[in-house]
Structure 1
Amino acid sequence: MNLMISMAAFALAASISPGPVNVVALSCGAQFGLAASLRHVTGATVGFVLLLVFTGFGLHEVLVRYPMLTDLIRWAGMAFLIYLAWKLAMDDGQLQVGKPTRRPSLLRGAAMQWLNPKAWLAAVAGMGAFVADGEARLIGLFALIYLIVCYLSVACWAYAGAFLGPYLRSSRRIRMFNRSMATLLAGCAVSLLYV
């Protein structure tokens, strides 16, 4: 039971803390509402759990054996986060009435986890801490716990965004919100320098 509590605490700390997936969930919630944002939440959760399982069944060993891959993932992820931050910061805040917008999706949510350096670090650290021997039962238990905790954590960010949505109905407020989100994403990227 203590192992399950420790796994859940680790999953909560890694999943609820600010990061790129959570910032995007917040933004999706603000722009599209909670119901539509749950596609991103589900995709991000499933994407992370798959990454976690693959890490548990051998990817962890590859990354330990070739640490330069971890560095490559971290630098590519940082570049991706800076790119997302730049796109948000440059947004003019105009409401896209009548124009098609990219709604949240399962696939983009899942892909974002695989491009998220925070997710890679959490998967490697979690598997290293709780399932270093690669026991299938423990990998499955950790994945199940993470599935529940990650979904609820990312959903909280989407809910917060949906709560803020009604206050973001002017171009000026949207620009301010987007620039705040861009600052958070850039901060996430910079924080990876110190990992």
Structure 2
Amino acid sequence: MNLIISMAVFALVASITPGPVNIVALSSGAQFGFRASQRHVAGATLGFVLLLVLMGLGLHEVLQRWPALTQGVQWAGVAFLLYMAFKLAADKGHLDAKESGRAPSMLYGAVMQWLNPKAWLACVAGMGAFVADGEARLVWQFAAVYLVVCYVSVGCWVYAGTFLRGYLSNAKGMRLFNRSMALLLVVCAGYLIRT
């Protein structure tokens, strides 16, 4: 039981801390509401859990052999973050989802995780801490714990955005909020370029 609690604490700390996926979840909740943003939450969760399982089953060894793949993922992540920042900055700030486009899709959330260096680091660190020997039972156990914790964590960011929606009831306020979120994504991209 102590191992499961430790896994859950690790998953919570890694999942609930700010990062690109959570910034988009916050913005989606503010702009599109809680229900419409659940596709993003589900996609981000499933995308991360798939990455975690593959990492536990040996993907990290492939990346160690070919470091250029890791750099490719990093640069793709930077490009994706800048694209998301542009989309947020260009948004008109309309709260009516029919007028202002659609909430991020399930695929969008999953792709974000695969291009998110924070997710890769969490997978490597988590597997190193809890499943260093690669035992399949522990890989799946950790993935099951992470599935629940990640879904709730990203969902909390969407809920926070939904709560803020009441304070961002006009297009001008929403534009300011979206541009602030875009700036945070650019900062994340800048951090990735420096590392």
Shorter-chain TM-score above 0.5: yes
TM-score by length of structure 2 reads 0.90
What is the percentage of aligned positions where both structures have the same residue?
66
Kindly indicate whether the alpha-carbon contact (under 8 Å) linking 1:26 and 1:159 is maintained by their aligned counterparts in 2.
Answer: yes
One-letter code of the match for 1:173? G
Residues 61-113 of structure 1: CA deviation (Å, up to 9, x unaligned): 11122222222211220121122112222333345675461233322222221
Structure 2 CA distance for partners of 1:97 and 1:62, relative to 1, 3 Å: closer
Task: Indicate the residue corresponding to 1:39 in structure 2.
Answer: 39
Task: Indicate the residue corresponding to 1:133 in structure 2.
Answer: 133
Task: Indicate the residue corresponding to 2:28 in structure 1.
Answer: 28
Instruction: Give the superposition deviation at 1:6.
Output: 2.3
Task: Indicate the residue corresponding to 1:74 in structure 2.
Answer: 74
Bigger Cα displacement from structure 2, 92-101 vs 23-32:
92-101
Alpha-carbon distance between aligned partners in 1 of 2:27 and 2:162, rounded to the nearest angstrom: 8
Structure 2 CA distance for partners of 1:91 and 1:137, relative to 1, 3 Å: same
SS of residue paired to 1:151: helix
Alpha-carbon distance between aligned partners in 2 of 1:58 and 1:133, rounded to the nearest angstrom: 11
One-letter code of the match for 2:164? L
TM-score by length of structure 1 reads 0.90
**Do structure 1's residue 114 and structure 2's residue 90 form an aligned pair?**
no
One-letter code of the match for 1:93? G
Residues 105-136 of structure 1: CA deviation (Å, up to 9, x unaligned): 32222222122222122112221222122110
One-letter code of the match for 1:142? F
One-letter code of the match for 2:80? F
Gap runs ≥5 in structure 1: none
Alignment of 1:38-117 (within 5 A): 38-94=38-94, 99=99, 101-117=101-117
Q: CA RMSD in A?
A: 1.9
